[in-house]
Amino acid sequence: MKKTRVAILGSGNIGTDLLIKILRSQYLECSLFIGRHLNSPGMNKAGSLGVRISDLSIEAIEREPDCCQVVFDATSALDHRKHWPVLKKLNKRVIDLTPSGIGEMCVPALNIEHCLDIENVNMITCGGQASIPLASVIGNTQDVEYIEVVSTIASRSAGPATRINLDEYVESTEKGIRKFSGCSNVKAILTLSPAQPPIDMQTTVFAKVTRPDMQALKEEIPKMAGRVQHYVPGYSIIVPPMVESDRLVTMVRVRGLGDYLPKYAGNMDIINCAAIAMAEEYAKAGEGERGGDGR
């Protein structure tokens, strides 16, 4: 089967981890790995894996528009705002891993099919990918007045772009929770933990609910977790839904696959796994069309 060709923009932790995952995909191949400096650790890693690299940023794709069908943007929210008009003109499918807020928000467990027809999908945030599936169950099964999601990630799993983008992280996560839970009163919190050895990513969803329907949660939360586990193997419920001090609470841990960063970096893993699930869905859906053009 012919694989769909993708390019990765951004050679930081996210981009490099994405690359390693794509090398394992049955549906995707990375035809170009793009950064800004040939000597960055990510570029060196890509080079050592035999992947074509370029230090020309977005220009690499402008110069060679046929290099790929799908572009993953793993740069920053600010950079994505510049990249998007260029990629749109070139008719690329774009999967945005920055909290730019431009594309359609995508959580594969919830709206992957809807996103198939959309040219720019946004993967929200790591905390969003972990919490929104659960928040949507709560929104759909409960009479909910407020939802709050709290993620803790290891300091060493957060690169410079994540750190400088904390406000965008909060805003983008909150927007995602609102959209998928239907609850307008929401809050997102992110804590970076200096603990050594580093801790696994943990995400807690709290909610204020009138007369919680625990039975529905006990059925639906594990089902939803199962759907996420299809594309994020390290996603697991560690505290099942319960009520503590009038707060509905449930907690997940996300362990990474240990591809580019160690396993504690579940935050990076979950957003990358989600992005790849989306891209593979394109690839599968696009099979028929591309069959005819001789490639």
Q: Under rule CB under 8 A, how many of the chain's residues touch another protein? A: 36
Cβ nearer to another protein, comparing 111 with 131: 131
Q: Which of 86, 116, 216, 239 binds another protein (CB under 8 A)?
A: 239
152 binds another protein (CB under 8 A): yes
According to CB under 8 A, which residues from 242 to 261 bind another protein?
A: 242, 244-245, 247, 249, 251
Structure tokens at 223: 């089902």
Cβ nearer to another protein, comparing 38 with 238: 238
Q: What is the CA radius of gyration of the chain?
A: 19
Q: Are 254 and 231 in contact (CB under 8 A)?
A: no
Active-site residue flag, 106: no
38 binds another protein (CB under 8 A): no
Q: How far apart are CA 225 and CA 263, in angstroms?
A: 19
Structure tokens at 22: 């794509």
Q: Least Å distance between CB 177 and another protein? A: 14
214 binds another protein (CB under 8 A): no
Q: Least Å distance between CB 18 and another protein? A: 23
Cβ nearer to another protein, comparing 102 with 242: 242
Q: What is the 3-state secondary structure (H, E, C) of 197-261?
A: CCCCEEEEEEEEEECCCHHHHHHHHHHHHHHHHCCCCCEEEEEEEEEECCEEEEEEEECCCCCCC
171 binds another protein (CB under 8 A): yes
Q: How far apart are CA 224 and CA 107, in angstroms?
A: 12
Based on the number of CB atoms within 10 Å of its own CB, is 211 exposed (0-12), middle (13-18) or buried (19 or more)?
Answer: exposed
According to CB under 8 A, which residues from 173 to 202 bind another protein?
A: 187, 189-196, 199, 202
Q: Least Å distance between CB 152 and another protein? A: 5
Pick from 207, 215, 171, 164: which is nearest to 189 by CA? 171
Q: Least Å distance between CB 189 and another protein? A: 6
Is the link from the previous residue into 197 a cis peptide, with omega within 30 of 0? Answer: yes
Catalytic-role residue among 30, 67, 106, 126: 126
Q: Least Å distance between CB 193 and another protein? A: 6
**260-277: buried (b, 16+ CB within 10 Å) or exposed (e) per residue?**
bbebbbbbbbbbbbbbbb
Tell me the catalytic residues.
Answer: 126
Residues that bind another protein (CB under 8 A): 146, 148, 150, 152, 155, 160, 163-164, 166-167, 169-171, 187, 189-196, 199, 202, 204, 206-208, 238-239, 242, 244-245, 247, 249, 251
